[in-house]
Amino acid sequence: MTMAQETSSTWRIWRRQCWGRHPSLNNKPVEPAPPLRRLDSKPPEAAKAEKEEEDTLLSHLPEHEAAILKRQLDIPPVKLTYKSLYRYATRNDLLLMVLSSICAIVGGAVMPLMTIVFGTLAGTFQGFFQKTVTGAEFTQKIDHLTLYFVYLAIAEFVTIYVATVGFIYTGEHISAKIRENYLASILRQNIGYFDKLGAGEITTRITADTNLVQDGISEKVGLTLTAIATFVTAYVIGYIKYWKLTLILTSTIVAIIGTMGVLGRMMDKWNKASLAAYAEGGTVVEEVISSVRNATAFGTQDKLAKQYDVHLIEANKSGFKMKTTLGSMIGFLMCFIYLTYALAFWQGSRYLVAGDMTLNDILTILLSIMIGAFALGNVAPNIQAFATAIAAANKIYATIDRVSPLDPESDEGKKIENVEGTIELRNVKHIYPSRPEVVVMENVSLLVPAGKTTALVGASGSGKSTIVGLVERFYDPVGGEVLFDGHSIQDLNLRWLRQNISLVSQEPTLFATTIFGNIRHGLIGTAYEQQSTDEVRELVENAARESNAHDFITQLPEGYNTNVGERGFLLSGGQKQRIAIARAIVSDPKVLLLDEATSALDTKSEGVVQAALDKASQGRTTIVIAHRLSTIKHADNIVVMSLGRIVEQGTHDELLERKAAYYNLVTAQAIAAQTQAKDEAEEPILDEKDANLAVRTPATEKAEFDYEPDPNDLELRRTKTQQSVSSKILAGKSNQDIPKYSLWTLMRLVASFNRQEWHWMLIGLFSSIINGAGNPVQAVFFAKSITALSLPPSEYGTLRSQTNFWSWMYFMLALVQLVFYLLQGVAFAYCSERLVHRTRDMSFRVMLRQDIQFFDREENTAGALTSFLSTETTHLAGMSGVTLGTILQVMTTLAVCCIISLAVGWKLALVCIATVPVVLGCGFFRFWMLARFQQRAKKAYEKSASYACEATSAIRTVASLTREVDVWEHYHAQLVDQQVSSLQSILQSSLLYAGSQSFMFLCIALGFWYGGTLIGRGEYNLFQFFQTLSIFASNRTSGINPTIHIAVEHPYPPATQAPNPDAAHLQHHPRRPSRLPASCIWNFYHVPAAYHRYHAARERLRDPIPGGEQDGRARQRCDDDTRCIYLPPILVSMNEPQALPMDGVHSRLSHAAAELKQLFDRKPDIDSWSTDGEVLQGMEGSIEFRDVHFRYPTRPEQPVLRGLNLTVKPGQYVALVGASGCGKSTTIALMERFYDPLVGGIYVDGREISSLNINNYRNHLALVSQEPTLYQGSIRDNILLGADKAPEDVPEEAIVQACKDANIYDFILSLPEAFNTVVGSKGSMLSGGQKQRVAIARALLRDPKILLLDEATSALDSESEKVVQAALDAAAKGRTTIAVAHRLSTIQKADMIYVFDQGRIVENGTHNELIARGGRYFELVNLQSLGKNR
């Protein structure tokens, strides 16, 4: 058995194993699949509506045609449970998960067991001071009990290590199986299935969604089991010790859940309102920035900024209420903690005096209850991860379980032994499944004889490429049949059929491997595939010679072993096309399909490739789709198609004699060829005057190789080196350096936004100091309470009195903390909301101040700037009083801790302080390791994901080459290699993580051992020991975990990778700790965090925010902080872990502030805020362009206008015509002064426009562009944006007259709400013609002296165009008008027509004059009339 046969056998065995469990996959369904239901993030109502819409689209078709289309699109719904995620788990995986689960449970039980040792040690100390334990016994017991901490550390290390390794390994293994099955299923799907997929959807599924599934079945399972085990063990210990006190203290959980339930709902309500307001504001921003030219032209920046501010004010109100509620929740939860201590000591002292329990029992129960409560809170975020994994798996499994109606891996169907290559279409009717409303081909019959060349020609959309798709059986026709050698292709084996047909498409797709590998792909599935390497190489080289590729390949340094890069980007278009031709003919196919194989090439490259095609088509059946008719003159049969039908066919000479459709096509291309010849003759003359800049661009860099270029690879290169005037001007401009700002400068910027709230800031900062001192104070109360409870029976009266007193102190502390956490939360919430409001408002206004070249830059797209407003301005809130409050709270806690502990017992204090680096290391490793687990899981699959995405994005090429098995095998091999390499990483990182967990127990052991030693020597009394120890344990022993900084209103960073368009679920973000949207600092455990994090994220997904406001996915955290609760000697770090994530926070905040500072400091060259320049009281409307040279700032190497001279008289209607890219729209942009020319000047009424006041000048102009821009609001609001005065100052008569002039008034009155009718986002409620007429009315409202029309009717259908054109003709009367014409019929009556070519005026005159002249304009008119004939 050969390697290829063995591989194929392995593939088929794997398929039976993986898909054999699903009986539906083994039988081809006779009936159409169930109705289409897309399994995405849409709510049920939306999915139902989508299904109804699809049924409506198919309702006009006969039942059998609708069934054929549905079968090609249907995705059966899949209902999954959590158990379904383990569908592909092997027996070894299950055994390892069982072992890991046991270890995770044991590891979770270790923490509560620590409380027993802690309580026993406290009892031993009590016995020593009550003289019931001798010094020797005391020392022995201390040593013995300290060893228990060591044992617990060892147990924790082993169990956590095994659990972590086990769950991460099995998670990776199972998710890899899911990836393999998903890719295999994707490769088996029909092409119609891909037509309905959104851009990047497959990429999202195979990367982000599988990561989410892995997240839900790997380490989070262990963390959840650990937390549950901790909770159960803690309560079991408590009830065993003394059930009454345990039951009483359980009220803590009830209070927490009740408070969170009530306040959480309020937070959800206000958070949803805030997000909704920001969503509407984000829509305004996206609308305005995406149409910034319109806003600039009409000077509506201030009006639109006020619209945005309305939404900001509403969001500010709701956000403040939400954050105030959150501050209340935090305050109440802190209060509950201290009340729990008060209740435990007060009630425990009563039971102790009654003889029902001991000090040992009280401390054990108290700590167990607190640990249990915190462990329960740690389950919530992980449960959400499990739900997210199920949601993600739903979409993946729906694809895996889908039965493809055109399965290339199916063995069904006949295989013809002796292939001739005759193809016939009989009465074929075709409708694309993704466009059921359009009949692409109707009753087409065509015979393609074997061994002959048949050419298909016709206009775009006539059905030429559809024939190729049907022959390849990418689709099934809804009527008729396609025959191959007399057999219906539906009866033939699909894989065999495609192996006998080779396709060369317009855009050749090469894969990221060597040239040899790419050509060898053409041998897959053929008899040649089994030949020896030398024989295969000979076939490859022969194919390359036939395709005129061998010569340039051999000149490469590595020859056929040269890697072509992803999608072949290292090669030129002609080189890629010739390799694709070699790949197509290497297997000597009987049928060759050429789908516009040379249309994307320049004239000289086309000649080389065409010669290769002519050679390749000899002796085989060839179907050619022609782009240039000159390439198919020698075809045996030429088929002319129009609107999905064959209108005529015959040889080249026969069709020319008929002088019908083909004759018109040839004549039109002859005129275009003459024009092109003139262009090539004139180009050197233009180049001498305006040569290209010597600028290195990505395109030129890409074309530079280390080898000599193939002589056949002819390229058009500039040979002149003389610089143009504009080149010299551009060369004189220096690059702008990105400024660097000091931290003090950035802090001053942030402070300036909160200057008015300084008194609120002081309240918040003072509250932070009080809250920071709360933990050390409670440590004093804790030590005093233990000391009181340690009194002997003879002093029980004093015991009760002192315990009652300290319990009241705890009660007092609870109230103080409640009040000051409330004050802190409210004060910082108010400051934060005001800061974000002002920052967003000012940032938006500064953006609108910028000139148009700012928005032309790639980094300043509408989405990027909208995202900037959402994220960077929000991040800035973290540099307000919140950050300073955090610092003050942490420093207060640390300072008070150190001062008190050193004052009371400096020896033990120094030892405890010495453990701080260890604890910091533990905290850091815990945080860093969990982050690294996630990061490594994502990065590990980047390479394989890139490979899979490359293959699926070129699915037509993969299908035509029958590469499905080959792609899967390469992908499978990559996953296996990645799993092997990642296993070592898992073992190492898990070792560090488990070590970080166990080290804490060792630190506890050190504290108790050394403290016990000091007590044994008589150096410390009980109060000194517990005072010093509990000072450092104060935050942990009180359940406080201040590792989280809460400072931002929208805690989600901007998307940095291909986003998931439907944002179906929450995604773990490994590098960032979870932060709730509140302006406060809070040190608390995960219960409220998880609760609010879940609901806030859920609301974000329920109400997606348009534009950049939506990040795509909410983030959640998987940090296991319960392991660090109550670890006494180490916990001077109870505040220091707060600094762990602060480094990233500081970096992000500094970056946000620097970005804003740079934006605020940027002063545009054309400043709409400027008051400089002459103010015109009136304008006649004469216009003159004098020797204007211009290049776009973002494309300085490309000249646009090269010495433009143009004159327009007042009141004249002037039309600008010419080919695309000749400078027409640029002329309009320069008139609006969106840019300044590099050389020359533009004069209006004899004044250079750069000397005029910019806003006053634009008030005399009005622009109507190709895409009409309407904003959210009513029709009246949109029309009023055109006024050059306040809306209230515009008389109603003026609005009515503008609408009448624009031919829209009657339509508006026909609407139920007339002028108050809401137009929707970007005017979506109106048709194109209606929007354009509203835009015209807006332009006329200001009664402009100059009207600029930039292809104002080109995007409209013919009916709408007539109405709009009539409105434009009326609007042009009595004012100077410059119109850029798309359809020449619309400007026949113009007073003057200027014909542009390569940035110059080549001729001008009236319509009749230019027609009589027979020049460029005459050619343009002829081409358009030919288009109409077709």
Radius of gyration of the chain (CA): 38
198 pLDDT tier (thresholds 50, 70, 90) = low
Looking at the predicted structure, is the pLDDT value of residue 163 above 90? yes
What are 1394's strand-pairing partners? 1216, 1404
The answer to whether the beta carbons of residues 178 and 390 sit under 8 Å apart is no
Cα–Cα distance for residue pair 1001/1355, rounded to 1 Å:
72
Integer Cα distance of 662 and 641 in angstroms: 9
Q: What six digits make up the tokens of 89?
A: 């788990």
- Across the range 490-495, mean pLDDT stands at 90
**Using H for helix, E for strand and C for coil, what is the string for 1236-1291?**
CCCEEEEEECCEEHHHECHHHHHHCEEEECCCCCCCCCEHHHHHHCCCCCCHHHCC
Quick one: pLDDT band at residue 1366, thresholds 50, 70, 90?
confident
Q: Which two tokens stand for residue 11?
A: 């593939």
What pLDDT does residue 714 have?
35
> 365 near 248, Cβ under 8 Å?
no
pLDDT surpassing 70 at residue 1149? no
pLDDT band at 735 (very low <50, low <70, confident <90, very high): very low
948-959: average pLDDT = 79
Instruction: State the Cα–Cα distance between residues 1072 and 1076, nearest whole angstrom.
Output: 12
- What pLDDT, on a 0 to 100 scale, did the predictor assign at position 341? 92
DSSP bridge pairs for 514: 563
CB atoms within 10 A of CB 361: 21
- Angle at which helix 210-217 crosses helix 135-188, to 10 degrees, equals 150
Lowest mean pLDDT among 156-160, 181-185, 862-866, 1341-1345: 862-866
| Strand, helix or coil for residue 1419 | helix
The secondary structure of 562-606, three-state, reads CECCHHHCCCCHHHHHHHHHHHHHCCCCCEEEEECCCCCCCHHHH
- Note the pLDDT tens digit of each residue in 769-793: 998 888 889 888 988 999 999 888 8
pLDDT recorded at residue 691 = 40
Q: Which two tokens stand for residue 357?
A: 């329990």
Answer yes or no: is pLDDT of 1065 > 80.
no
1050 neighbors 874 (Cβ within 8 angstroms): yes
Predicted pLDDT of residue 1354 = 63
Q: Using the 8-state DSSP alphabet, how is residue 208 labeled?
A: I
pLDDT of residue 750: 76
Average pLDDT, the chain: 76
pLDDT confidence tier of residue 27, bands split at 50, 70 and 90? very low
Residue 377's closest CA among 264, 265, 257, 233? 257
Query: Backbone phi, then psi, for 392, in 5-degree steps?
Result: -70, -40
Q: How far apart are CA 1229 and CA 293, in angstroms?
A: 9
Residue 285's nearest CA partner among 302, 307, 315 is 307
pLDDT digits (tens, 9 = 90+) for 1082-1116: 233 333 333 333 333 333 333 333 333 333 333 33
3-state SS assignment for residue 794: helix
* Side chain identity, residue 439: V
DSSP state of 942: H
Give yes or no for a contact between 374 and 1085, defined as CB atoms under 8 angstroms apart. Answer: yes
Give start and end residues of each alpha helix (H) in 1103-1247. 1142-1161, 1224-1231
Contact 930, 1122 (CB under 8 A): no
pLDDT value for 104: 94
**CA-to-CA dists, residue 460 to 642, 1194, 1318, 1429, angstroms:** 9, 32, 38, 14
More confident position, 343 or 1152: 343
- What pLDDT score does 1 carry? 43
The pTM of this model reads: 0.67
Closest CA to 929 of 1087, 1068, 1120: 1120
**Is the pLDDT confidence value at 69 over 80?**
yes
Backbone angles phi, psi at 19, to 5 degrees: -105, -5
1237: nearest Cα among 1193, 1273, 1277, 1288: 1193
Query: Residue 482 and residue 464: Cα distance in Å, rounded?
Result: 15
The larger pLDDT score, comparing residue 146 to residue 200, is at 146
Residue-wise pLDDT for 99-137, tens only, equals: 999 999 999 999 899 889 988 988 888 888 888 888 888
For the cut 90, the answer to whether the pLDDT of residue 166 exceeds it is yes
Give the residue-averaged pLDDT of 1290-1297: 86
Alpha helices in 189-217, H assignment, sequence order: 191-195, 201-204, 210-217
Element (H, E) at 993: helix 964-1016
- Compute the distance between CA of residue 751 and CA of residue 1157 in angstroms, rounded to an integer: 13
DSSP single-letter state for residue 476:
-
Answer yes or no: is pLDDT of 171 > 80: yes
**Which pLDDT belongs to residue 535?**
87
What pLDDT shows up at residue 727? 53
Q: Span 1137-1141, mean pLDDT?
A: 37
Least confident of 37-41, 910-914, 1362-1366: 37-41
Residues in the chain: 1430
308-329 confidence digits (pLDDT tens): 888 888 888 888 888 888 888 8
pLDDT at 932: 66
CB 513 within 8 A of CB 565: no
- Write down the pLDDT at residue 1313: 82
Q: What is the pLDDT of residue 936?
A: 62
User: pLDDT digit string (tens) for 826-844?
Assistant: 998 888 888 888 888 888 8
